[in-house]
Each structure stands twice: as structure tokens, then as C-alpha cells.
Amino acid sequence: MKKILGILLFIGIALNANAQLLWKISGNGLEKPSYILGTHHLAPLSIKDSIAGLPEAVDGTSQVYGEVVMSEAMSPEFMQTMQQNMMMAGDTTLQVLFTPEQYELVGKAVKENLMADIAMLAKMKPAFITQQLTLILCMKHLGGFNPQEQLDTYFQQQAIQSGKKVGGLETPISQINVLLNSQTLQRQANLLYCLVSDIDKAMDQTKRLNNAYKAQNLDEMLKLMEERDGNSCDPQPGEMEDLLDNRNKAWIEKMPSIMKEIPTLFVVGAGHLPGTNGVLKLLKEKGYTVEPMK
């Protein structure tokens, strides 16, 4: 369940210094500033109109860098790779990964939400089923959520239309590995069971994160991401590092040369921004001045 929290995001106090999604990056030899914007996959596209300083950041930069180049994630080559990676190898099936009672409950959730018999998904990785279930559940429970309108895609499309370069801090394949290959199949199955065993709780957590993002409060987002239940549904050692910290550190190694070459608008998941190993703190440690746009 908490893995879902790690992939989702952001509630707030207007006077809080961290109540902001858009940050200006300057100093440390940069001739012109760059910017970093935190996004959330469940937020309505209209939130862009309430982000302070966004027009200045868009007009003042010559390229947009996302986590990945979204058009590459839509290519036939990527889709083929995705299909290969979402299937389990060997003799392992979903039924092997669950007790009979768990298998029945997961099957019920799959039937009600994905409109499929679980036997048809026998070779599909549990992590992929978790992602698909989460998407459908969010469409059912979150008002205004439209998976066809994503902030990340929007800013890349706008950049292309303006003749600006679009780049990615990592490849779509690396994201597949994080989401589908970084955990054992048994751990993936356990997390899928965590979701279906208490869907109401999962959706309540998701709504709180969604409200936090709309309020543009990084501190509250971080607090929600660090909540623990004290059971096997909590992140295991290394999981949050794989999902956030290690990726943040890899991005920080790439960002200086990107910004030095051309003023850049970075558009990444808001969960990557706050915290001890968050991108904002890591940028400051590199010697940059990082300040919220007003």
C-alpha cells in the first residue's frame, strides 16, 4: 500500500516556506536560471493555472526535461518491451503466489474493477496488476481524474510545439525496471494483496495525497509518504531508496551539465523534491541557490 503512496503525491499551509511546486535554480556558475516543477499523475491539468511563476519559468527556458521522454514511452518498441516485462517467466503463476483465500480476494477485485477473470491474468506480474487496479480505482474514487490529461505529457507537448528540445533524466526501460523488476514476485504479490484487502484505506490515503498536492505543500506530502502501519505492507529496506532516493542522486549527476548548456524546465514527480535525499536538498548541496517561485 505504501508503495502506492510513493508513486502518488501532495495539503498545505499557505505561509509554509515549502508550500510550492515550482522552484528556481540559480547560482553555481549558471548564466541563466533553470526551474524544477513537481507533478502528480492524479492532479487535474487545470492546476497549472494556480502554480505561481509558471509562465516566467516556461518563457525563460529553452528546453524541458522530464523523468522520461513521454513520446518514447508510446513507441511500438517500448510497448513490445513493456509486454515482455509485465509477464512472469518460467512456471510461476499468480495462483502459486497466493494462498487460496488471498487468490479468491484478488480475483474478486480483478473481476469487479478490471472486468476480467483472474485466470486470464495467470502469467501477469502482480506489480502490473497493482498498477492497473490503482488506475481504475482512482478513476472511480477521485473526481476530476483523467488519465488522458497528464502534466508531464502536457509540458513536453507544449515544448515541442514551441520548437524547444525535450529530454529525459532516465529511460523508459529504467522505469519499467523500477516498477516491475525491482521486487521479487512474492513481494509484488504481497503488495497487491495489501491493496485489495483494504481498498477503502488505499483510496483514503490517495485522496489525502491528492489534496496535499493541490495545496502545494511539500512538507505534508513528505509526512504522508513517511506514514507507516507497522505491518508487511510498509516499505521494506531498500524499496523507497529504489523508488526515490537512488533515482534522485542519479538525476543530480546529470542536471548540472544540462542546466549549464541551456536554461531548462525540469518536470518530475513531486515526491522526488522534498526530504533529506530530495532533489531540492541535493541541488543545494551542489552549491545551487534553490528558491520557491512566488
Please determine, for residue 18, whether its predicted confidence score (pLDDT) is greater than 70: no
Q: What are the pLDDT digits (tens) for 152-206?
A: 999 999 999 999 999 999 999 999 999 999 999 999 999 999 999 999 999 999 9
Domain boundaries, the chain: 2-292
In the prediction, which pLDDT does 294 show?
86
| Amino acid at residue number 201 | K
Beta strands in 149-263 (DSSP E): 165-168
Contact 246, 239 (CB under 8 A): no
Contact 117, 182 (CB under 8 A): no
Q: What are the pLDDT digits (tens) for 221-276?
A: 999 999 999 999 999 999 999 999 999 999 999 999 999 999 999 999 999 999 99
Q: What are the pLDDT digits (tens) for 101-148?
A: 999 999 999 999 999 999 999 999 999 999 999 999 998 888 777 888
In the prediction, which pLDDT does 14 show?
29
H or E stretch at 157:
helix 151-161
- Give the integer Cα–Cα distance in Å for 210 and 44: 10
Please determine, for residue 2, whether its predicted confidence score (pLDDT) is greater than 90: no
pTM > 0.75: yes or no: yes
Instruction: Give the max Cα distance, the chain.
Output: 62
- Give the integer Cα–Cα distance in Å for 223 and 275: 10
Q: Which residue has the higher pLDDT, 203 or 2?
A: 203
| Integer CA distances (angstroms), 206 to 3, 199, 236, in order | 11, 10, 20
Please determine, for residue 4, whether its predicted confidence score (pLDDT) is greater than 70: no
In the prediction, which pLDDT does 3 show?
41
In the prediction, which pLDDT does 41 show?
87
In the prediction, which pLDDT does 8 show?
37
- Give the integer Cα–Cα distance in Å for 173 and 50: 33
Can you give the C-alpha Rg of the chain in angstroms? 19
pLDDT tier at 19, thresholds 50, 70, 90 = low
- End-to-end C-alpha distance for the chain, whole angstroms: 34
Q: What are the pLDDT digits (tens) for 55-102?
A: 999 999 999 999 999 999 889 999 999 999 999 999 999 999 999 999
| 274 CB-side CA count, 13 A | 24
For residue 57, which of 78, 36, 29, 30 has the smallest C-alpha distance?
36
Beta strands in 34-84 (DSSP E): 34-39, 63-66
In the prediction, which pLDDT does 74 show?
87
